[in-house]
Amino acid sequence: AQTVTQSQPEMSVQEAETVTLSCTYDTSESDYYLFWYKQPPSRQMILVIRQEAYKQQNATENRFSVNFQKAAKSFSLKISDSQLGDAAMYFCAYRSNSGGSNYKLTFGKGTLLTVNP
Amino acid sequence: EAGVTQSPTHLIKTRGQQATLRCSPISGHTSVYWYQQALGLGLQFLLWYDEGEERNRGNFPPRFSGRQFPNYSSELNVNALELEDSALYLCASSLGGWVTEAFFGQGTRLTVV
């Protein structure tokens, strides 16, 4: 079974600074997706960024980028120019792409990000 | 376009009672996923429905059950409620199981007293 570990329960960053959230995962599969989701106080999970395991290039979405190290099974999220609206719980998630009944997300326990003005 | 909607927003039940939670997916989405988010435990996968069929089930007891209706909306039923069932229950929908992007609703906060 796949597992996702987020070793930082809480992180804080100053507005306009850069912060990196860590995520490691364990799997024996070679075809999968990794995600970062954001959950603000409104509770709604919002997809931040997605990475396909077969793509060597790290995904980027505006101020959000990832460092995907497949051999090390590491998937960190970098937030540049942090804004007050980035404050939220961030979840790392894994999804198999092997088909069948495996289309479910496995989440880490989350990292609570605080942005200080 | 309406997003994933869940009802009720909050639900308070007594231990031993039954709870029914509802989810309406985005129009055109056939897959519905249910997750439990208990304090300190992250999100745990509960159930996946696609085209009216249960496709996968997480490691939860049988008193957690559900169904998907012909219009692809879904119901999650929790029988014989226990205090540990208190959690935020999130529903997500996608165009199909193979589609990577799932959209989440705002959840139902279930409190068991």
Confidence at A96, pLDDT banded by 50, 70, 90: confident
- Mapped onto helix, strand or coil, the DSSP state of residue B6 is strand
Query: Which of residues B75 and B42 earns the better pLDDT score?
Result: B75
Instruction: Please give the mean pLDDT across all residues of chain B.
Output: 93
Please tell me the predicted confidence (pLDDT) of residue A110.
95
Cβ-nearest to B106 among A44, A93, A102: A44
Q: Are strands A32-39 and A105-107 parallel, antiparallel or unpaired?
A: unpaired
Q: Of A97-101, B33-37, B56-60, which gets the smallest average pLDDT?
A: A97-101
pLDDT of residue A35: 95
* B88: contact with A, CB 8 A cutoff: yes
Q: Does A99 score more than 80 pLDDT?
A: no
Chain A hits for B40, CB-CB cut-off 8 Å, are 109
Residue among B97, B77, B87 at smallest CA distance from B30: B97
How would residue A100 be classed by pLDDT, with cut points 50, 70 and 90? low
> Residue B1: pLDDT above 70?
no
Decide: B6 and B33 in contact? Cβ < 8 Å. Answer: no
Does a cis peptide bond (omega within 30 degrees of 0) precede residue B70?
A: no
- A103: pLDDT strictly greater than 80: no
Closest Cα of chain B to A17: distance in Å? 27
Question: In one letter, which amino acid is B24?
Answer: S
Closest Cα in chain A, distance from residue B37 (Å) = 10
* Cβ separation A110–B33 shorter than 8 A: no
Closest chain A residue by Cα to residue B47: A104
Interface membership of B38 toward A (CB under 8 Å): no
How does DSSP classify residue A9? S
Taking 90 as the threshold, does the pLDDT of residue A98 lie above it?
Answer: no
